[in-house]
Each structure stands twice: as structure tokens, then as C-alpha cells.
Amino acid sequence: MPRRSNSRKRKKIRVFIAETSKPKNVLFPDCVAWFTKTWFPKLAREGLKAIITVMPKSAIAQLATKSWQAVEQGGIKLQNVTGLKEAEALIPTLSK
């Protein structure tokens, strides 16, 4: 059975890209509340500095995403972009 590596030796993820260009639906309010109150603070404590979201192409999903995303949530910077290449280009800037 594989053993977990010592957490002090693991590399921490500083920036996460959420590729959400394909969804056409919206998140339920209880999901959004869980993200903002539980998940984002936990990720921030683990060292995550930013989440780059590749925005959905669906207009409804775009509006829903923009409605709950602020500039920062739970200590994590949130950045919306239109494409994956744009997201990848932001990694060096946001990982500092």
C-alpha cells in the first residue's frame, strides 16, 4: 500500500486553475456558501494563494459565477479569465 509523503516534504499548490468553460448550469446557494465559508478558508490555510477561473461560455453560468465571486474569498485571490492560455499566463504573477 502506498504511504503518504511527509507533509513538510510535499510541494504546496499556490495557484489553482478552475477550467469551467463548458458548464451551462449554476451552483446552488448552499454549494456557494460551503465554498466561501468552509472550502476557501481551508485552502488558504494550506497555502493556496489564488484561484483562476476560466469563465463559462454560457451566459447564464457566467452571470451566476460573477454573482458570487469577489476579488478575494477566505484569503484567496479570485481572478476570472476567458481562456486557459490567459489563466496559465497569470500563474507567475499570482503565485507570489
Cβ atoms of residues 17 and 81 within 8 Å: no
Cβ atoms of residues 47 and 81 within 8 Å: no
Q: What was the pLDDT predicted at 1?
A: 47
Q: Where are the alpha helices (DSSP H) in 2-83?
A: 29-34, 40-45, 59-68
Residue 75: closest CA among 52, 53, 42: 42
* pTM tops 0.85: no
Q: What was the pLDDT predicted at 10?
A: 64
pLDDT tens for each residue of 39-49 = 889 999 999 99
Residue 52, Cβ density class (10 Å: 0-12 exposed, 13-18 middle, ≥19 buried) = buried
- Cell numbers for 30: 448552499
